[in-house]
């Protein structure tokens, strides 16, 4: 599955995992589970009961109609080169930690770029059609919005791979992966809240210190203006923090965003009261999703993020018409779908 485009920044290198005071803890009140999942997004992983991922929850908050297009109509979206690059960089960073610690160097990371791209292309038809070896990129960011280090509009596959390598170089200015041993990478985590809602998503990386402190790490690689997506990024990390608290009964010590383009680290420390409020917010959001699903009333909510929406042709705000609402979505007893992250 192709990731959402994300954005930017960077600062302080990191060592093992966070240390310091004991994290806040409390008893989880509902069942939860974790599972490593290299084949994220496969049909077999789909839950059979109400569930919500951070991406789809954020979609509904951003624009209910966008949620409908992606989750109920499941309209196809051709990944942009920017999204494909994010997928590739995430894959390389995951693979990097398979190497012995001493080998986790910028040079070895650069060597992983081309083979990982070939592996992703072979596994994902959407990516396979994005570039031919000498073809121009069909879907670069709008003019004037290409990120620093991104291939120019109309770039070749070679330039695309070079831009991914540049982003990885940004990563090494923030962290020294030779000093890190992540507890989890690209891992599906899930928990139940409100008795029946399964909240689930994939964390890029989870570090756990010898003292048991958890640090959730998310890599941001996109080229869109950071301020347009920062609230969404924080929402995503709080979502993961809530899941982890429900699983382990421990509030993660740090939520960390690594903005590779700008080489900037953004750390956030959640507390239990905040996560409990966030849980109530998610349950209210879920009720709103269920109401909309039962009525078919998903309204457009135009914002500057419309510039990144792949469904303007179907959106009334842009003169389009949504496809007929699927009858199955209106059937009684059919749980509102939430999709994968």
**301 counts as binding ligand SF4 under rule CB under 6 A:** yes
Toward ligand SF4, which CB reaches closer, 38 or 320?
A: 320
Task: Pick the stretch among 40-48, 58-66, 186-194, 225-233 that binds ligand SF4 (CB under 6 A).
Answer: 58-66
Q: Which is nearer to ligand SF4, 65 or 251 (CB)?
A: 65
Point out which residues pair with 191 in neighbouring strands: 32, 199
How many residues would you count in the chain? 341
d(CA 265, CA 32): 30
Taking the C-alpha atoms of residue 341 and residue 331, their distance in angstroms, rounded to an integer, is 25
Cβ distance to ligand SF4 smaller for residue 63 or 336: 63
Look at the alpha carbons of 40, 218, 166, 83 in this order and tell me if their dihedral is positive or negative: positive
Q: Name the H helices within 21-151.
A: 54-62, 64-67, 81-96, 106-123, 125-128
| Per-residue binder mask for ligand SF4 (CB under 6 A), 15-54, x = binder | ----------------------------------------
What's the min distance (Å) between Cβ of 291 and ligand SF4? Answer: 18
Least distance in Å: CB of 220 to ligand SF4? 20
Identify which of residues 241 and 315 has a Cβ nearer to ligand SF4 in the complex: 315
Between CA 94 and CA 173 the distance in angstroms is 17
Stretches 41-49, 61-69, 89-97, 168-176: which one binds ligand SF4 (CB under 6 A)? 61-69
Question: How many degrees, rounded to 5, is the angle at CA 231 between CA 69 and CA 285?
Answer: 50
Closest to 266 (Cα-Cα) out of 20, 14, 2: 14
* Residue 302 binds ligand SF4, judged by CB under 6 A: yes
311, 336, 339, 340: which one binds ligand SF4 (CB under 6 A): 311
CB-based contact 82:141 (threshold 8 Å):
yes
Q: How far is the CB of 113 from ligand SF4 (least distance, A)?
A: 32
- Does 77 contact ligand SF4 by CB under 6 A? no
Phi, psi of 197 (to 5 degrees): -90, 120
The footprint of ligand SF4 (CB under 6 A) covers: 63, 65-66, 300-302, 305-306, 309, 311-312, 315, 317-318
């Amino acid at each position: 599955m192709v990731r959402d485009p994300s954005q930017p920044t960077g600062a302080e290198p990191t060592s093992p995992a966070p240390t310091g005071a004991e994290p806040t803890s409390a008893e989880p009140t509902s069942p939860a589970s974790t599972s490593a999942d290299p084949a994220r997004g496969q049909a077999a992983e789909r839950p059979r009961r109400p569930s919500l991922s951070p991406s789809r929850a954020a979609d509904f908050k951003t624009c209910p109609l966008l949620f409908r297009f992606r989750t109920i109509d499941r309209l196809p979206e051709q990944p942009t080169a920017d999204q494909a690059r994010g997928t590739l960089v995430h894959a390389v960073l995951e693979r990097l930690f398979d190497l012995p610690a001493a080998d986790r160097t910028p040079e070895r990371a650069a060597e992983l770029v081309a083979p990982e791209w070939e592996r992703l292309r072979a596994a994902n038809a959407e990516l396979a059609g994005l570039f031919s070896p000498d073809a121009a990129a069909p879907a670069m960011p709008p003019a004037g919005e290409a990120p620093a280090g991104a291939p120019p509009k109309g770039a070749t596959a070679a330039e695309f791979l070079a831009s991914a390598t540049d982003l990885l170089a940004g990563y090494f200015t923030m962290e020294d992966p030779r000093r890190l041993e992540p507890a989890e990478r690209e891992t599906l985590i899930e928990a139940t809240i409100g008795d029946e809602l399964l909240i689930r998503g994939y964390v890029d990386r989870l570090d756990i210190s010898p003292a048991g402190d958890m640090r959730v790490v998310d890599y941001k690689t996109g080229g869109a203006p950071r301020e347009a997506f920062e609230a969404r990024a924080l929402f995503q990390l709080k979502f993961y923090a809530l899941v982890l608290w429900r699983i382990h009964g421990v509030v993660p010590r740090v939520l960390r965003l690594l903005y590779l383009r700008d080489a900037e680290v953004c750390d956030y420390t959640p507390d239990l009261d905040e996560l409990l409020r966030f849980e109530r917010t998610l349950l209210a959001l879920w009720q709103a999703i269920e109401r909309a699903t039962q009525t078919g009333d998903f309204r457009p909510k135009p914002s500057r993020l419309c510039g990144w929406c792949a469904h303007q042709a179907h959106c009334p705000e842009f003169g389009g018409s949504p496809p007929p609402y699927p009858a199955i979505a209106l059937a009684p007893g059919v749980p509102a779908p939430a999709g994968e992250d």
